[in-house]
Structure 1
């Protein structure tokens, strides 16, 4: 237990509880939910595992120092004092990422610059040479977070956002973020116990994330690199064992995951991404228009999709959303249908009352994840049996 340390998993608004649940299942200790973040404790191996397995985490940060700041000189002095030789040498490269919510500092780039100056000056003054900055592929990614007058300096163990899963090489006009897709699936209660469809599948992200959840495949198994792989204390053999152990926990899936899209180009891209994720045996995709489709499977169907909002794709929204409601009512009995939209006016045309509304953000767009229960007969008939 003595080797445990505090970490912070960053996430999207609305996903804090499901990230907390993911961390519990993974075996984290001392979990505390925050806003767009969950803090927890674990050892180095758990840090590797968190990066590999968490579906709703954007980054895993390892705080190494927290201090009070009253002004920019305080920030510089405190960062300068830190023992940076423990993490990098003058031959390495580094980059600073800053987030600020403070009256003292109001510019993240300035905070990043001041931090960079302190580290560079420390090496120059003590060793005569300083490490260079590399914004694209640094040896050490440093995160500086200032909340009012409290500054936390962390090592970023992930590097590029964890939504870069590694399987998606082809995208469409409005691709959905992989973390958003996974989070919506978990919020919807998707557990792989029924058939699943995405009837407007675009580049196939929701389908891939659904199959990975159903088979308990680690979220980032296809990712090329994590930032911790360039740390001085990185243990490659240990990480390989964690990957191997995580893959042993995958499970068979005995239902169907299928999707369709009316655009041939989207179908091609989706099939490519499914192939990249090594999930072709679990996911089928074909060209079809949702409004001409009907349920083809027995038993309950779980549906989740991301229809156009009218933001980037020119569509007659009123008729489009009315078509969604009509198609669900007429062609998809015994279906639990979920979709996300930022077009609150368009929802009124669906003609069905959602049983759940969950506030989320798709990029910067405030959105709602909506649930519609489509019963076998009418709702009234169901309760009169």
Structure 2
């Protein structure tokens, strides 16, 4: 019987609720929402499963110790009180990541250095030699979080942020973060039960995430590696079993997922990424200017996109957002259209009233995910028919 332990899944502001829901559906225990994080309980197999399957988590941490640290001496002593041989041997490498919100410490580099000293001194005292630091490919990634006087020490189970899904090749377009794309799709209610369109698809991230949600394909199935694969208790057979059980839960998809972009370079890039993700049978991409298109499919359409904004492209924002509104009104009836924008002023020019507005962050920029419901015929006609 594997033992259960507490874990913390980090996420973006605004995604806490959908991440908690993902964890509950996956079978996590004691799921509790915080700010930009959700804590939960599971065993080692569940730790593998969470890293492979969660769409809206950026990182999964495994807390191993908590103590009070009000100065550098208390920090050093607290770190030394952990038996590091449980997690690391003298010939391995490690790195320390630090997050600070404390009056007692104001330099994360200093905290990282003190932590490193406490760990290597423990090995040097016992063996006369010490593990090395490796910032790029460490065997163990240690996460230190100090809030006021509380110091929490955790092992990073993921390694690189989980938005590195493994399907996106180098890109010259400013692409949307994969976790942000997946979170937007889940917030929009996308579940694969209608046709889907991203009319400004860029390098295809929203399309890839939409297809994986529709088919219930694990988010990180294409990822090259996770930090826990270098741990002393790494269990390859268990990992393979977890992958098999997740892949057995994939499902058929009976609608279309389409992407448009007016730039030929974006279309090529998006096709490349969809191929890398093995999603070609579900996704088609064509070179089109959204403003010259009409809805192609019968029945309801679900649309999610990330229009370019002032920071990225030199465009006439007023005209651009007005054209979004006009195109939706004239060509896309029976459509739920969602998009994200960090330009809150520009929303006024769409000329439609959003039925939802959700506050999110796109990088450092405060943004809104907005929903426009385009009815079959006018709203008035719909009302008269009823």
TM-score range with shorter-chain normalisation?
over 0.9
Instruction: Supply the distance in 2 between the matched residues of 1:327 and 1:122 (Cα, whole angstroms).
Output: 66
Q: 2:230 matched to 1:225? A: no
| Counterpart secondary structure, 2:23 | helix
Residue of structure 2 in register with 1:148 after alignment: 148
Q: Secondary structure at the match of 1:327?
A: helix
Write the deviation string for residues 215-262 of structure 1: whole angstroms up to 9, x where unpaired. Answer: 000000000000000000000011001001100000000000000100
How big is the alpha-carbon RMSD for the aligned residues of Structure 1 and Structure 2?
0.9
Is 1:89 aligned to residue 77 of structure 2?
no
5+ residue gaps, structure 2: none
1:371 aligns with 2:371: yes
Contact 1:170 1:273 in 2 (8 A): no
Aligned to 1:355: 355
Q: Once structures 1 and 2 are overlaid, which stretch shifts more, 116-125 or 10-19?
A: 116-125
Alpha-carbon distance between aligned partners in 2 of 1:88 and 1:109, rounded to the nearest angstrom: 22
Q: Which runs of 4+ in 1 moved over 3 A?
A: none
Aligned to 1:136: 136
- Structure-2 residue corresponding to 1:34: 34
Which residue of the partner structure matches residue 381 of structure 2?
381
Residue deviations 1:274-310 (CA, integer Å, cap 9, x gap): 0000000000000000111110000000000000111
Q: TM-score of the superposition, structure 2-length normalised?
A: 0.99
Q: Distance in 1 between matches of 2:141 and 2:59?
A: 11
CA offset digits 1:93-128 (Å, max 9, x no partner): 000111111111122222112111111111112211
Paired residues, number: 385
Cα distance in 1 for partners of 2:80, 2:290 equals: 59
CA-to-aligned-CA distance 1:167-213 (integer Å, 9 cap, x gap): 00042421000000000000000000000000000000000000000
- The more displaced of 228-237 and 374-383 is 374-383
Aligned twin of 1:307: 307
Q: Distance in 2 between matches of 1:47 and 1:326?
A: 47
**Conservation of the 8 A alpha-carbon contact between 1:70 and 1:104:** yes
The aligned counterpart of 2:331 is 331
Runs of 5+ in structure 1 lacking a partner?
A: none
1:228-267 correspondence to structure 2 within 5 Å: 228-267=228-267
CA distance in 1, matches of 2:380, 2:9: 45
Alignment partner of 2:322: what SS? helix
Provide the rounded CA distance (Å) in 2 between the counterparts of 1:2 and 1:50. Answer: 16
User: In 2, distance between residues paired with 1:61 and 1:270?
Assistant: 32
